[in-house]
């Protein structure tokens, strides 16, 4: 598979880190969050990571409405929001989800991927293990206390 376009839903510390590293890798990255102040710095001046990793990286675009992903659907969607809103995120994705799209649950919590699989196609859902500690310094700036690669993905 040749994935080129990624969407990261959630512009908190975890989502910002994931989006920054994907963008650094040359991928087309859309960062989505309902809070405009969290999304705005991602495109200008770019996401700033400090601490265990140091990086300043712009993403391709920032959006505040998940429905905007329907205009130009990504190959992979990485979800980094709190587990309590997963049902809402999954139901919103039904409008543009398509065969061949992958969805990764990249968050703390137990069985978060199963919540997504209740609404979306089970074979397209994956789970990631978060191997870094982080905190938001301010919108668009994240302190990484530690980073222990590799990061693992698992299919359901």
Contact between 62 and 30 (Cβ < 8 Å) = yes
Domain parsing of the chain, residue ranges: 5-155
Contact between 83 and 11 (Cβ < 8 Å) = no
pLDDT above 70: percentage of residues in the chain: 99
Q: Which DSSP symbol is given to 97? A: -
Q: Whole-prediction pTM value?
A: 0.95
85 has a pLDDT exceeding 80: yes
CATH 3.40.50.720 for the 5-155 domain, yes or no: yes
pLDDT tens per residue across span 98-111: 989 999 999 888 89
Give dist(CA 6, CA 26) in Å, integer: 11
Q: How far is CA 92 from CA 13, 57, 97, 112, in A?
A: 22, 28, 9, 16
pLDDT tens per residue across span 19-70: 999 999 999 999 999 999 999 999 999 999 999 999 999 999 999 999 999 9
Q: How many CB atoms lie within 10 A of CB 120?
A: 19
Q: Which DSSP symbol is given to 90? A: H
Pairing of strands 102-105, 76-79: parallel
């Amino acid at each position: 598979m040749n994935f080129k376009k990624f969407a990261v839903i959630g512009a908190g510390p975890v989502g910002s880190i994931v989006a920054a590293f994907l963008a650094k890798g040359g991928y087309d990255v859309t960062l989505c969050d309902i809070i405009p102040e969290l999304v705005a710095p991602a495109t200008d001046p770019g996401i700033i990571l400090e601490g265990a990793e140091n990086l300043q990286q712009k993403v391709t675009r920032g959006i505040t409405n998940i429905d905007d992903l329907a205009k130009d659907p990504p190959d992979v969607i990485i979800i980094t929001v709190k587990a309590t809103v997963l049902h809402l995120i999954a139901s919103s994705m039904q409008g543009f989800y398509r065969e061949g799209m992958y969805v990764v649950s990249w968050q703390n919590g137990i069985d978060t991927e199963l919540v997504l699989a209740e609404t979306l196609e089970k074979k397209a859902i994956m789970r990631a293990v978060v191997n870094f500690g982080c905190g938001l310094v301010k919108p668009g700036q994240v302190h990484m206390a530690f980073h222990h690669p590799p990061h693992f993905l698992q299919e359901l």
